[in-house]
Amino acid sequence: MSATMDARPGRRLPVPPRPRTVGSLATMAVVIAVVVGLHVVAVHETQFSLTELVSGWRGIWHFLFGAPATATIKASAGALPPDLSWHIVGPGLYQCLVTFSMGLLGTTLSIPFALALAYLGARTTSKNIVVYQLARGLMSFLRSVPAFVWGLIYVTAVGLGAFPGVLAIITHNMGVMGKLWSEAMEETDRGPLEALRSAGASSAQTATHAVLPSVIPQFTSLFLYRVDVNVRDSLTLGVVGAGGIGFVLTQAIQEFQFNVMMTYVLMVMVMVIALDLLSAWLRRRIAQ
Amino acid sequence: MPPLTTSPALSVRGLTKSFGPQIVLDGIDLDVHAGEVVSILGANGSGKSTALRCISGLTKFDAGTVSVGGREVRSGERVPEFAMVFQKIYLVPRLSVLENVCAGALGRLSFWQAWMPRVFPDEVREEAMGCLDRVGLATRAHDRAGRLSGGQQQRAAVARALCQRASVLLADEPVSALDPAAAEQVMRLLRSLADEDAIAVACVLHQPDLARRHSDRVVGLISGRVTLDTTPAALTDANVDALYAPDYITEGGLI
């Protein structure tokens, strides 16, 4: 950065004062007051307390390294070290496969429904405002109910197991993926679409000939992302009785076998990281 | 007329650049003197923009030399003497015009002297006001850049280049996105920067008419080679047709 040329400073002029409307400072003050107030209420309502966390160290110690039996509670094994014996790890691997299968199947089987909802719920493709609003509303409903609540509903219908888990993922995911896909379609360049429309193509034709071909990369990328998320969701589905690694993990906690629980937590961690890396790598390949 | 006795502000010799097997620049020579406006014409793909990007250090070149004021610049090195103006303008739309112009000074400021747009030192803000006044936008200093018209935005981008205290202005199709009146205004501004501030201006254009009226010299590129270097007065329609002819040939004689 040596100045070989004479980089002389330019002429200076005073900077005029920044125009500021009278209301803007007052508005800012009100906004800050409201935000701070909401946080005060939130701290109070959640009984957020760092002192309690510190004074509860004994519980954390017992959880990590085990607790002796008391009159009311039986002795528990601590989370450390995890139980890495094969009769725990072997079934754990199988349950991981179940969890992965639930996430994958749930995402894949929701594709047609998500596609239909995305098509009806994107401004670029949906001409009828009533249909558009209905589709958006349905997608909002499907995704505002968490997958594990869908899981509880399906468990009462078809019983315990991985099958209600798959149904729950399908139901929740068609709302989420439909929304993500419809937004991808709305963000595409309208130019090619208008070119085809001026050529006399119907809205369904512009969708299949202009919109869909341009959004295939985004669709695939969002799909991979959803597989990733849904496998993690299937984990919590196990907690409500829908099978998989989440189910045996809950069992271990209920039986105070924290060392077994730790083994499953580690396996989940490995699976989630592996899946995340795989999905990120695939998405990068697609983006190129 | 440019003072041809002095050494050129910008001097390029044998500039070569390939993207994979495709040779984009095939040994370009170009001199631009202080106070001179040189227009660069050529069909799409002839290497005009790549040449400017290689000179400014945004793209690395393979061989050849680029010198500013007699000092050689390494491939990929970005020096404060070169300022770039873009076809798509590239102001930050949500920042004020003044903050955009101040950003031209970032190269000579440490991170903590301007860690965010609101906190540029007063002397930089005052200098930026001077630059804005130079391009006729002093009254719009506190407006958001995105609110300005295309022509005003491009003038603000030129002010950013002035705030950089550049001695060489590299303009890559600065008026291609503007209407004729705004384009004329921007070209007059570039002309006056050369005349009054002795800045060397290299300007890629697609409009032979603007090149004729505002530049001292016209350089033509075909397939990464300089095939034409003439005065505007000597630039004939045949010259221009020859520059844009390769398009017709490669596309099967379409006219």
Cross-chain residue pair B81–A7, CB shorter than 8 Å: yes
Average of pLDDT values for B218-243?
90
Nearest to A15 among B107, B126, B162 (CB): B126
Q: Assess if residue B118 is contained within a domain.
A: yes
Contacts of A8 in chain B (CB under 8 A): 165
Q: Assess if residue B131 is contained within a domain.
A: yes
Containing structural domain, residue A187: 86-287
Contacts (Cβ under 8 Å, ≥6 apart) of A44: none
Give the CATH number, domain containing residue B16: 3.40.50.300
Average of pLDDT values for A223-230?
90
Cross-chain residue pair B129–A18, CB shorter than 8 Å: no
* Residue among A6, A11, A15, A24 with most chain B CBs within 10 A, to mutate: A15
Please, which pLDDT band fits residue B250 given cuts at 50, 70 and 90? low
pTM here is 0.72
Nearest to A15 among B79, B81, B129 (CB): B129
Domain count, chain B: 2
Q: pLDDT tens across A104-128, in order?
A: 999 999 999 999 999 999 888 887 8
Q: Assess if residue B186 is contained within a domain.
A: no
Average of pLDDT values for B199-224?
93
Burial of A277 (0-12, 13-18, 19+ CB in 10 A): exposed
Do B86 and B161 lie in a common domain?
yes
Cross-chain residue pair B133–A13, CB shorter than 8 Å: yes
Tokens encoding B103? 């950003």
Containing structural domain, residue B242: 1-78+168-175+198-255
Q: Assess if residue A28 is contained within a domain.
A: no
CB atoms within 10 A of CB A261: 23
Containing B224, the helix (H) or strand (E) segment is none
DSSP A208-265: IIIIHHHHHHHHHHHHHHHHHHHHHHHHHHHHTT--SHHHHHHHHHHTTBHHHHHHHH
Q: Assess if residue B189 is contained within a domain.
A: no
Q: DSSP class of residue A76?
A: B
Domain count, chain A: 1
Q: Assess if residue B154 is contained within a domain.
A: yes
Q: Assess if residue A123 is contained within a domain.
A: yes
Cross-chain residue pair A8–B165, CB shorter than 8 Å: yes
Average of pLDDT values for B10-14?
95
Give B125's Cβ-side CA count (13 Å radius): 17
* Residue among A8, A12, A20 with most chain B CBs within 10 A, to mutate: A12
Q: Are B126 and A14 in contact (CB under 8 A)?
A: yes
Q: Assess if residue A42 is contained within a domain.
A: no
Cross-chain residue pair A3–B107, CB shorter than 8 Å: no
Task: Report the candidate in A247, A261, A248, A252 with the shortest Cα–Cα distance to residue A79.
Answer: A261
Q: Is A44 touching B (CB cutoff 8 A)?
A: no
Please state, in angstroms and rounded to a whole number, the distance separating the CA atoms of residues B159 and B144: 15
Q: Assess if residue A3 is contained within a domain.
A: no
Burial of A231 (0-12, 13-18, 19+ CB in 10 A): buried
Sheet containing strand B10-19, edge to edge, reads: B22-32, B10-19, B63-68, B71-73
Q: Assess if residue A78 is contained within a domain.
A: no
pLDDT of A4 reads 43
Nearest to A7 among B80, B122, B132 (CB): B80
Cross-chain residue pair B126–A5, CB shorter than 8 Å: no
Do B113 and B63 lie in a common domain?
no
Do B12 and B59 lie in a common domain?
yes
Q: Assess if residue A53 is contained within a domain.
A: no
Do B136 and B112 lie in a common domain?
yes
Give the CATH number, domain containing residue A249: 1.10.3720.10
pLDDT of B2 reads 52
Cross-chain residue pair A11–B127, CB shorter than 8 Å: yes
ipTM passes above 0.90: no
Q: Is B106 touching A (CB cutoff 8 A)?
A: no
Do B52 and B99 lie in a common domain?
no
